[in-house]
Amino acid sequence: MHSKLLDEFNENGYIVIEDFLKPDEVDALYQAGRALCLDAPQSNRKIFSTIKAEDAHSKELYFMESGDKVRYFFEQGAIGDEGQLVVDPMIALNKVGHALHVEHPTFNALTFSNRVREICWQLNFNRPAVCQSMYIFKNSGIGGEVTPHQDSWFLHTEPNSAVGFWFALEDCTLQNGCLQFIKGSHKSGVHRRYQRNPDANASELMVYDRPAPIYPQSSFTPLQVNKGTCIVIHGNVVHKSEPNRSQKSRHAYTFHVIETENNVKYSEDNWLQAPQDKPFPLLFERKA
């Protein structure tokens, strides 16, 4: 990564690296994503949506305990009142997560590649660990909105250290819900937190600590990128994606890296917690 890209990252809160993936890598990841559709559960299907705080997944241990597993989350519009699928299984999923980087060889190979390590090195990580990964489908006509947020709401460290790697496996356009960013918003701190509910008796396992900020639509810059592009995302930069209203899906693979050296503390009230016997896997340790 050139110093120009590092300057861009510090200025805008994200960088776009075109042709990060070779065509055969894009194809392998995309085919792995399609195969996940066939592995999805046939009953007791779980929905994932970001539209409101009381979403079903905030009450679900299935979601909360998915950090070291491969679990399947369906689109709101894919499931009928009786829990039955009302769309083709190949377009029913919202995402699969959150341990593809450990449990699936295709995603593991990219996540722990030297290219990813090099970027983390250039971003001055000393002991980076991968804390979660997701395959995001954003299927045509059904792929739901992702409301404006900062990744640090969910993956909070003190001081903030989360960085997302987001790989386009199909071309991303305004019509199919490309990512949109507020340039420079990472400089304004963390605007809210998504935390484990301190009330052990509440039905909501997770709660937000304050209302959602209002971000003007005019502040967002859409990133229309070709498949194979990698977008590196600062944990504090505000971003979103609109619903997919097109006839083309927008598959993507994404994972998040955090700093784990001694002076950085991973928040104990984050939804995602590593099991005691399975710490977040390291990319490297920088030796003094």
Convert the pLDDT of each residue in 49-66 to its tens digit.
765 444 555 457 888 888
Distances (CA, A) of 167 to 59, 126, 280: 29, 23, 21
d(CA 75, CA 48): 6
Q: Is the pTM of this model over 0.75?
A: yes
Q: Is residue 214 part of a domain?
A: yes
The answer to whether residue 210 sits within a structural domain is yes
Can you give the residue range of the structural domain that contains 96?
3-266
Query: What is the per-residue pLDDT for 50?
Result: 62
Please report whether residue 150 resides in a domain.
Answer: yes
pLDDT at 2 over 80: no
- Of 237, 204, 217, 229, the C-alpha closest to 55 is 204
* % of the chain residues with pLDDT over 90: 78
Domain-embedded: residue 282: no
pLDDT score, position 131: 98
Per-residue pLDDT band for 42 (boundaries 50, 70, 90) equals confident
Q: How confident is the model at residue 154 (pLDDT cuts 50, 70, 90)?
A: very high
In a domain, 220, yes or no: yes
CATH code where residue 26 lies = 2.60.120.620
Domain membership flag for residue 64:
yes
**Residue 6 near residue 163 (C-beta atoms within 8 A):** no
pLDDT class of 179 with cuts at 50, 70, 90: very high
Look at residue 287 and tell me if it is in a domain. Answer: no
Whether 277 is covered by a domain: the verdict is: no
d(CA 53, CA 193): 12
Q: What is the pLDDT of residue 52?
A: 47
**Kind plus residue range of the DSSP H or E element containing 265:** strand 265-266
How many separate domains does the chain show? 1
Q: What does the pLDDT read at residue 51? A: 53
Q: Is the model more confident about 3 or about 75?
A: 75
